[in-house]
Amino acid sequence: MAQAWRCNGLRWSADGPELAWDGGRRSALTWGKRVAFGVAEGGVRTCVGARGHACPVRAVVPGRSTGARCEECARLDRAHSVAADTIADDPRPYHVYLAWFGPGMTKVGITALERGSARLLEQGAVCFSWLGAGPLMAARRTEELLRAALRVPDRIPYADKRAVRSALPASAAERAAEVEDLHAKAAALEGWPESLTRESCQPVDHAGAFGLTDLPAAVGEVTELVAGGAVSGRLVAAAGPDLHLETGGGVVVVDTRLMRGWGLVPAADAELSLPLREFRSQTRIQEGLF
Query: pLDDT tens across 1-42, in order?
Result: 568 899 999 999 888 999 999 988 999 999 999 999 999 889
| Residue 186: predicted pLDDT | 98
Is residue 155 pLDDT above 50, yes or no? Answer: yes
Mean pLDDT of the residues in the chain: 91
Residue-wise pLDDT tens digits, 67-126: 999 999 999 988 766 655 556 678 899 999 999 999 999 999 999 999 999 999 999 999
| Residue 52: predicted pLDDT | 85
Please tell me whether residue 61 adopts helix, strand or coil conformation: coil
Long-range contacts (CB closer than 8 Å, 24 or more residues apart) made by 142-151: 142/96, 142/192, 142/193, 142/196, 143/96, 143/108, 143/109, 143/110, 145/186, 145/189, 145/191, 145/192, 146/108, 146/182, 146/186, 146/189, 147/108, 149/189, 149/191, 150/182, 150/185, 150/186, 150/189
Q: Is the pTM of this model over 0.85?
A: yes
Helices of type H across the chain: 71-78, 118-123, 136-150, 158-164, 172-187, 207-210
List Cβ neighbours of 267 (8 Å cut-off, separation of 6 or more). 36, 37, 38, 230, 231, 232
